């Protein structure tokens, strides 16, 4: 049953869990490249370690969607939280590339499960007609994490050692896992259609084998376009955050933590109005300006020479991404039936996972060959490409609807 108000008990608990887990995640992200380069590895290898997280999540994301639809979601959430905690400790234990790679892969697998299940769970407690606002407010947790977690992780790392940053990140994940215990334990309810389909498949298992393992069971093909569009934001975001500390040092800026704070503040600002606009006006009204300001921000960042330009880029990028990504997420979750929200959730994350995985690898290679400006300019070009792609998609949809009419 849907709740009548957005901020109900379970919704708030899920926000707390999400905040703690993303705090842990964002503490590790900026610390890992500095830790790895401090061990004598190249920037390219640092990018590989950062990127393999999302690539791993990508591989296991479709399975996590099926699991979220078929298994007890609370137990799945608990298991993922516990293993993420162990992975955070693993960063402090290993110092070789192979060891860190293994830990990063494990972290990626269960972060994929965690984020997929959290989105499925929270939609159960958002009132009908308020999905845009509900998902937008749910994203406030990661915003809070972005505001202080990267700076906190770097500060702890430079003052007390990077290993301590990893252990504190593990404490955050452990706290999130404990809070999961207080979320209502609801068994997955299947629609009559879903139940009858399973009965039919069990009666004719050999004949249905091909159908049981069809693409649509793993991926909600109807939302792939929105997943790709969300991935464009993540590509830019991954390069922006992975290399911002190293980039700022080349400009003579030693403490870049305020960049994350400004970014978080403007993402929060965008959440105050974007969800309501999406619920009333639809996706297009949000997406076009979101990509435009995102592109401008990346061009500013690539040519930044002082802190003021860094902060202007942070504000514009945050406004664009903060409005665009949750609107695309809401579009995915409202484009499928209730028994497929797990698959829709995992499909949505495929776009960000792919692009966030590719981003640091491509960014590291571009930086090694052409410098930081070229990497951020590339992000700006891709933002502009998003406008063209979405406009073409909308034209195609209208043409298809006209033909069918």
Per-residue pLDDT tens over the stretch 196-210: 443 343 333 344 444
Provide the Cα torsion 37, 38, 40, 41; round to 10°: -20
**pTM for the full predicted model:** 0.68
Flag the least confident range among 167-171, 258-262, 379-383: 258-262
> Which residues neighbour 134 within 8 Å (Cβ) at sequence distance 6 or greater?
6, 11, 122, 123, 125, 126, 127, 275
Q: How many CB atoms lie within 10 A of CB 337?
A: 11
> Does position 20 have pLDDT exceeding 90, yes or no?
yes
- Residue 183 backbone phi and psi in degrees, to 5: -75, 140
**What confidence category does residue 215 fall into, taking pLDDT thresholds of 50, 70 and 90?**
low
> Does position 340 have pLDDT exceeding 80, yes or no?
no
Q: What mean pLDDT do residues 357-366 have?
A: 85
Flag the least confident range among 49-58, 99-108, 322-331: 49-58
**What confidence category does residue 166 fall into, taking pLDDT thresholds of 50, 70 and 90?**
very high
**What is d(CA 191, CA 71) in angstroms, rounded to the nearest whole number?**
15
Question: For 9-183+218-400, which CATH superfamily applies?
Answer: MFS general substrate transporter like domains (1.20.1250.20)
Tracing tokens 């939302």 back to the chain, one arrives at 223
Q: Residue ranges of the domains in the chain?
A: 9-183+218-400
Give per-residue pLDDT as tens, 88-110.
Answer: 999 988 888 889 999 999 998 89
Give the model's pLDDT for residue 213: 55
Q: Are 241 and 29 in contact (CB under 8 A)?
A: yes
Give the model's pLDDT for residue 17: 93
Give the model's pLDDT for residue 192: 37
Q: Are 38 and 102 in contact (CB under 8 A)?
A: no
Handedness of CA 161, 258, 310, 23 (dihedral sign): positive
> Which residues neighbour 59 within 8 Å (Cβ) at sequence distance 6 or greater?
none
**What confidence category does residue 405 fall into, taking pLDDT thresholds of 50, 70 and 90?**
low
Give the model's pLDDT for residue 214: 65
**What is d(CA 290, CA 322) in angstroms, rounded to the nearest whole number?**
8
Output the average pLDDT for the chain: 81
């Amino acid at each position: 049953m849907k709740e009548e108000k957005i901020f109900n008990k379970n919704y708030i608990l899920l926000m707390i869990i999400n905040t703690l887990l993303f705090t842990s995640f964002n503490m590790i992200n900026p610390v890992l490249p500095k830790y790895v380069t401090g061990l004598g590895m190249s920037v390219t290898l640092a990018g590989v370690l950062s990127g393999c997280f999302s690539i791993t999540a990508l591989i296991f994301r479709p399975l996590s969607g099926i699991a979220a639809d078929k298994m007890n979601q609370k137990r799945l959430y608990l298991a993922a939280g516990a293993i993420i905690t162990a992975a955070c400790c693993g960063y402090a234990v290993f110092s070789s590339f192979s060891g860190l790679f293994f830990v990063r892969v494990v972290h990626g697998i269960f972060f994929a499960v965690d984020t997929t299940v959290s989105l499925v769970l929270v939609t159960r407690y958002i009132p009908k007609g308020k999905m845009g606002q509900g998902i937008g407010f749910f994203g406030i947790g990661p915003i809070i994490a972005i505001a202080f977690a990267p700076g906190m992780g770097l500060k702890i790392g430079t003052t007390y050692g990077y290993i301590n940053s990893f252990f504190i990140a593990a404490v955050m994940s452990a706290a999130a896992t404990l809070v999961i215990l207080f979320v209502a334990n609801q068994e997955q309810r299947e629609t009559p259609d879903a139940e009858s389909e399973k009965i039919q498949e069990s009666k004719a298992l050999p004949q249905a084998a091909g159908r049981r393992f069809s693409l649509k069971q793993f991926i909600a093909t109807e939302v792939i376009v929105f997943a790709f569009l969300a991935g464009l934001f993540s590509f830019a975001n991954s390069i922006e955050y992975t290399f911002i500390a190293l980039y700022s040092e080349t400009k003579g800026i030693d403490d870049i933590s305020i960049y994350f704070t400004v970014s978080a503040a403007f993402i929060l600002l965008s959440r105050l109005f974007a969800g309501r606009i999406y619920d009333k006006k639809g996706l297009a009204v949000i997406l076009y300006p979101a990509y435009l300001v995102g592109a401008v921000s990346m061009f500013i960042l690539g040519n930044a020479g002082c802190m003021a330009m860094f902060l202007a880029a942070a504000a514009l990028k945050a406004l664009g991404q903060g409005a665009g990504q949750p609107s695309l997420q809401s579009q995915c979750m409202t484009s499928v039936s209730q028994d497929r929200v797990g698959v829709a959730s995992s499909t949505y994350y495929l776009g960000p996972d792919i692009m966030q995985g590719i981003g640091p690898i491509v960014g590291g290679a571009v930086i090694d060959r052409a410098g930081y400006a070229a990497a951020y300019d590339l992000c700006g070009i891709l933002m502009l490409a998003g406008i063209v792609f979405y406009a073409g998609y909308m034209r195609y949809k209208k043409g298809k609807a006209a033909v069918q009419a």
